[in-house]
Amino acid sequence: MTTILLTGFEPFGGASANASWDAVRHVAHHWDAEREGARLVPAELPCTFAAVGPALADLVARHQPDLLVATGVATGRRRVSLERVGLNLVDARIPDNEGRQPIDEPVDPDGPPARFTSLPVKAALVAARDAGLPVELSTSAGTFVCNAALYLGVGLAEASGGRMRAGFVHVPATPADGPGPSLPVDATARCLTVILRACVAVEHDLAVPGGTLA
């Protein structure tokens, strides 16, 4: 049976909750492994540059997932975003949960400039849109801990020799987070569930247009 490691982040920046972890817990609560043909392992990641990489590596070593789908909140976005690329760049607008605020530093000094998701993001996008869900592709995961998790997670997938695929999904804030664009937790969870199903079902991504002109 396929094993999915689905992660969300702990609260950061003075918030009392994180929409990504709320959505992950919601997905896990309603997930039926027999029905879905996949075992789901939910996990909460630390929102610190120093700890996120070791945490991901430990989770992957313990659970040996076939799919690593990390999630994080992107305040200001209206749709769930399938991230395509992680940059080897840290440029923190705010401190992380350890008070560190690196500026213009690499995620990994020995790594390549960028790493691309190995999840079938276009297939997931088509599945979500067919279901009438607010999902989009994104080419910017930011330069905070979410981007680091994407970059390092794909690095773990590359090191697995193709045994594991990895990527990242940004989710909007929830209405409880205050004014601004938002999506209720249950709606975000529906999006994630459809994305996970597509990732389980599709090995090679679709060759369909998904880019932007700017």
Q: What amino acid positions are annotated as catalytic residues?
A: 146
CB 74 within 8 A of CB 9: no
Question: What is the rounded CA–CA span in Å between residue 51 and residue 14?
Answer: 18
The rounded Cα 97 to chain-centroid distance in angstroms is: 19
First to last CA, the chain: 41
CA torsion sign for 133, 206, 21, 108 is: negative
Which of 211, 192, 182 has its CA nearest to residue 128?
A: 192
Question: What is the rounded CA–CA span in Å between residue 169 and residue 155?
Answer: 16
Question: What is the rounded CA–CA span in Å between residue 205 and residue 118?
Answer: 9
Question: What is the rounded CA–CA span in Å between residue 79 and residue 83?
Answer: 12
Which of 2, 1, 154, 139 has its CA nearest to residue 70?
A: 154
